[in-house]
Structure 1
């Protein structure tokens, strides 16, 4: 694997004022924060400000201008973890420094879509994510926080010639997402439409937030998923089913009676008319897609927890647990078995298919039922519908798929990357694994 990689950034917007910023952790520099400078080649390691001095500006220019529409610029990145390629239109982004960051450098204050006082709150920006290490290049488009106005597409060609492409959205992708959110709000009465961010004075939406961040814009989804959780607990509960036992024939009773010595005879106890064997109404099956194989799950009698694989117990998740995928029963820990279950169980709730089928991960045809009575993350549904190839990370475990299933997450990866193209704007968006 190379120590560096060239990336071709392409301006597919209608603006000549588009900027890129490259951030990440420098793997070969003690995991310190690193930027590419404005020339797209040199590295800048922001120093930690003195203790007590916060929100300090960068002391180098890191805004990489992409030039006129249709222009392409080639940059070179070192090995980086947690990398992001940020884009902004009409105005560069503002990054700030706080003391005490990794590798002895600064803590980076990144642009926020949730803080109205953030200097980037009104800026049209987007980002994609990547990691380049000794094993591979891994990159993906993401909607885990928000849908931006600026669409991003990825294309990766390996040294062997194979091409992977993630299409992203068309230039009007955000408008389509907003229309879908409004339609869903009208259908079920939940505040999907309030996730749309359109600042005062703007003639069109700036972005749409993931419902995980709904409270920041007054879009509360409290108790939204609880009916689905209740339905799942009922479906996978072990219930008591009375079964009538067959009575012995009079002949058999007489035979038993005469076989016993007279002194041992006494009144025969009545045979119970019913027994109560336990059996689940339905059995949940989680394919861990790991050494643990397929694990069965059910709610035992008298229990409030779902038990999967015999020894991993899951309390009922709340809506916040489901949307965030990292709290309550979905918090990961030291058990590899549990950590293999969590993404698949959380994804089944997010996609609203936990009860529709018992085997998970399930086929994408089961995802996101649209009935007004069905609960699912309709932000994620709309996002997938508005991406030209249906791909894109819309929640934390959106890479969960059945064995042999089509990728949902909008990622490209390879251990031998050769050509990596990142296009912003969507003007020449296309579908298919080929170079632009």
Structure 2
């Protein structure tokens, strides 16, 4: 999250995290002997908001257990390092890391000064592209698996009352030695009850990461992550969205030496520009408050409290005697934990549950269209309102199965609804395969092994039912089998097709500027999706016709002449019919088309 000043009330004193200190990266924890997180949840909250992992006061007594984790290199680089960090549940919640051999556990000592380097080598080297490196981990909470391409990461230690504080890489602090490196992470908790893991974009987007969990019965669950070019797709769409609504989405794109380095979440974007998105939700919030002044908003807490109803009055959304919410700012909505959505002193847990569902609806832009949250939510309606979290919309669209945490409460869903958070979990895990680099490596391995898949619900109806091979098909569809991107013999490559251009990009600049001024009104139209699709359909048809190569035209004319020649010579007798036969089962992701003949005569 954003690297800003935080004060956490703790027994005996406050834990203060202040970047204004001269050594902000090396001193994220104030040197106060009484300051320490009480529970594991406290530790994880501090880790999320300040990139520091600290042992809580409470100790854990859990029988030891281990899990195999495979780290699959699907990048194009032979220099990839992984790091595994967390709190050891079988060693009193102590901060721990896996050493470079992937099986030894490193428990760092509590240093006496800040910014102390690790005393063990914890960089796990991955093998060359296409290889899997196996690790064995103990029970851990707040676990993260980090990847860095073409370099190593820097982790440091600070002194703490309950043990060392592990200073982790940060994307919102330019003095962080890891800032200009290509790195990312996924999250997991492995305890006595289950393994839970998810891919996350709550802070930023950088490397594609996929998860494949196999349980002891051989059942597999999978989250696909982004394609290998996912970051570039996200950055391009953020820039485009910035030109559409002028809200500043393009400011979330971070580059280095002319290449995309990462895409920040809106909350981290606000860290660099405090005025970013300041008034983005203002009109929408006003409309919500107006709507629920005369109509009840129903929130299902999905807990023991059941459903509650609220109405707006005097600037507050009030839920009877439980409490109320003030109008949230953009920062409140993107964080889900500040201002209007901060923990309240009364009915804390229940109001947090209500706030989580309010926050999810605001990010998804559905609070005006659905007064029963989240039970009446439909995934296809998420982000269709022009005022919504466009970063989340773009990130979900860039994932091959549409899944991944794009904001803190992206796991909110109706009962039996479609998961958006990109998580895998099982009470009886056997092994977890974590793939970095995209390219749908898991689908290709599945083809070789013939693995059975337990397929979770799809993100959208458009994805059909072939979750694990869908991204392989996407790659094939992007190839022109006559013109480009097809591997020839001996590994040579044909010329790739030119980048696709939209119909809008072909419009003369003066006319395009006029259209751009009208786009906000067009986007709010209920027919916006259909209107936008029409010019692109026209362009696709025209470009398909005019983009045929001379060789392609000659080939097709020659094929037609051969058919006519066969007919004229009598090889195709009267009553014969040429039929196209599809044989879809010969190869999983390929359709073989052949010619068959049959005669209508007796």
Q: 1:100 aligns with which of 154, 157, 160?
A: 160
Distance 1:215 1:429 in 2: 35
Instruction: Pick closer, same or farther for the CA change 1:49–1:423 going to 2, 3 Å.
Output: same
Distance 2:281 2:77 in 1: 41
Distance 1:378 1:146 in 2: 14
Distance 2:82 2:391 in 1: 27
Deviation at 1:83, TM superposition (A): 0.4
Does the 8 Å contact 1:18/1:90 carry over to 2? yes
Q: Does 1:287 align with 2:304?
A: no
Q: 1:325 aligns with which of 321, 332, 336?
A: 336
- Residue of structure 2 in register with 1:38 after alignment: 100
Q: Does 1:375 align with 2:390?
A: no
Distance 2:180 2:368 in 1: 41
Q: In the TM superposition, what whole-angstrom CA distance separates every residue of 1:195-239 from its partner, at most 9, and x where no partner exists? A: 00002x2x32010000001134437111211211111100000xx
Q: Does 1:226 align with 2:282?
A: yes
TM-score normalised by length of structure 2? 0.61
- Matched ranges for 1:177-326 at <5 A: 177-199=234-256, 201=257, 203-218=258-273, 220-237=276-293, 280=294, 282-300=295-313, 303-308=314-319, 310-326=321-337
Does the 8 Å contact 2:155/2:166 carry over to 1? yes
Q: 1:158 aligns with which of 215, 225, 246?
A: 215
Deviation at 1:101, TM superposition (A): 6.0
Q: In the TM superposition, what whole-angstrom CA distance separates every residue of 1:346-370 from its partner, at most 9, and x where no partner exists? A: 1011111111221111111221125
Does the 8 Å contact 1:194/1:217 carry over to 2? no
SS of structure 1 residue aligned to 2:286: helix
Q: Does 1:119 align with 2:177?
A: yes
Deviation at 1:298, TM superposition (A): 0.8
Does the 8 Å contact 1:32/1:101 carry over to 2? no
Q: 1:347 aligns with which of 360, 373, 376?
A: 360
Deviation at 1:8, TM superposition (A): 0.9
User: Number of aligned pairs?
Assistant: 381
Distance 1:227 1:71 in 2: 51
Instruction: Pick closer, same or farther for the CA change 1:384–1:352 going to 2, 3 Å.
Output: same
Does the 8 Å contact 1:56/1:96 carry over to 2? yes
Deviation at 1:172, TM superposition (A): 0.2
Does the 8 Å contact 1:325/1:346 carry over to 2? yes
Deviation at 1:433, TM superposition (A): 4.7
Q: In the TM superposition, what whole-angstrom CA distance separates every residue of 1:91-125 from its partner, at most 9, and x where no partner exists? A: 010101111164x2x11111111111111011100
Does the 8 Å contact 1:352/1:375 carry over to 2? yes
- Matched ranges for 1:379-394 at <5 A: 379-394=391-406
Q: In the TM superposition, what whole-angstrom CA distance separates every residue of 1:371-390 from its partner, at most 9, and x where no partner exists? A: xxx31110000000000000
Q: In the TM superposition, what whole-angstrom CA distance separates every residue of 1:59-110 from its partner, at most 9, and x where no partner exists? A: 11000000100110110110111000000000010101111164x2x11111
Instruction: Pick closer, same or farther for the CA change 1:433–1:383 going to 2, 3 Å.
Output: farther
Does the 8 Å contact 2:64/2:90 carry over to 1? no
Higher relative contact order (CA 8 A, sep 6+): 1
Deviation at 1:133, TM superposition (A): 0.8
Distance 1:83 1:112 in 2: 16
Deviation at 1:416, TM superposition (A): 0.5
- Residue of structure 1 in register with 2:429 after alignment: 417
Deviation at 1:25, TM superposition (A): 0.6
Does the 8 Å contact 1:57/1:96 carry over to 2? yes
- Residue of structure 1 in register with 2:31 after alignment: none
Distance 2:221 2:298 in 1: 32
TM-score normalised by length of structure 1? 0.84
Q: 1:71 aligns with which of 122, 131, 136?
A: 131
Distance 1:101 1:368 in 2: 45
Distance 1:61 1:93 in 2: 11
- Residue of structure 2 in register with 1:20 after alignment: 82
Give the aligned CA root-mean-square deviation in angstroms: 1.8
**For structure 1, which runs of at least 5 residues remain unmatched after alignment?**
238-279
Deviation at 1:307, TM superposition (A): 1.4
Does the 8 Å contact 1:286/1:341 carry over to 2? yes
- Residue of structure 2 in register with 1:267 after alignment: none
- Residue of structure 2 in register with 1:137 after alignment: 195
Distance 1:358 1:341 in 2: 13
- Residue of structure 2 in register with 1:255 after alignment: none
- Matched ranges for 1:394-413 at <5 A: 394-413=406-425
- Residue of structure 2 in register with 1:270 after alignment: none
Q: Does 1:83 align with 2:143?
A: yes
Distance 1:125 1:118 in 2: 13
